Amino acid sequence: MASTPKRKSQFNLSLSLPSTTNPQISHKSIINSIIADAKNPALYTNRAMARLKLGHWESVIADCQTCLALSPSNMKAHYYLAQAQLSIRDFDSALENALAAHKLCAATNDKSLGAVTAMVLKCKKDRWGDREKKRLRLEREVEERMLDLLRRDRDEMLMAEESEIERRMIEEEANEKIATLSSVFEASRSQNQKKREVPDWAIDDISFDIMVDPVIVSFLTLDIHLYKRDSILIFPHRQKQANPTNAPPSWSISAATPPTPSPASLSPPLTCGPT
């Protein structure tokens, strides 16, 4: 049996192969490495990455859970686990692991912070969309249930009444109730059944909550962002270097918009007339 370092080198070599064969080869290579070193958490995250590309969600979850049992603070395990759980629509668990990965990334200033942040936002967005679908389905079920109860009461009253006049009055009154209830639901359907989405600009990049009291920061670095006020107050205590003026200028947003000229720059130059 080949040694563990040799199997690791074989696995790293497989990562350089074309993407069409990379996941399958990586998966076979890392299985042999795990056999040689079953207590190495990095091997489980490597296999989880290969299985993630193959779409083996349950196997990814098993590998990540094994890795976290060996190394609870493994950021990659939380990150891959969030992706797999999101694929099987386990939105709450996916968001929990994405936030755990983000916390670990922020604590170590990991270069993957941008990708992990995007995963947190995707988990929140997909969970919101799933809740919206459930809300709309529940509203339709409530409407159908209430209308069905009115029709059932009407039919029972009609069967119990022998007088034709009373039967006609009961039917007219019941049909009027059904029509009124239907119109109420129809009037509210245009608003309630409209798909509600939270735009990305309304999400605070620090707490991942919807901004209620936004403030503008980093304007000195030409990189304007909106954040929640309480996030700005809490963030300096979490990060040692939280001064935006120490960061290099970023030309992402503000550079595309020229700065507003000051009134003094718009005034014509003063010249002295002939004496």
Per residue in 248-275, pLDDT (tens digit) is: 444 333 333 444 444 444 444 444 444 4
CA–CA gap between residue 187 and residue 193 (Å, rounded): 11
Residues 6+ apart with CB under 8 A from 216: 224, 225, 226
CA–CA gap between residue 87 and residue 61 (Å, rounded): 11
73-82, 210-219, 225-234, 256-265: segment of lowest average pLDDT: 256-265
CA–CA gap between residue 111 and residue 114 (Å, rounded): 7
How long a stretch of residues is the chain? 275
Strands (E) in the chain, as ranges, are 214-217, 225-228
Please, which pLDDT band fits residue 71 given cuts at 50, 70 and 90?
A: very high
Best CA proximity match to 4, nearest among 38, 47, 54? 38
58-62, 101-105, 161-165, 191-195: segment of lowest average pLDDT: 191-195
Decide if 2 contacts 29 (C-beta within 8 A).
Answer: no
Is the predicted pLDDT of residue 46 greater than 80, yes or no? Answer: yes
Residue 110: predicted pLDDT: 86
Residue 22: predicted pLDDT: 53
Best CA proximity match to 192, nearest among 249, 135, 243, 107? 135
Is the predicted pLDDT of residue 72 greater than 90, yes or no? Answer: yes
Nearest 5 degrees, angle CA 34-CA 40-CA 43? 55
Best CA proximity match to 203, nearest among 90, 135, 117? 117
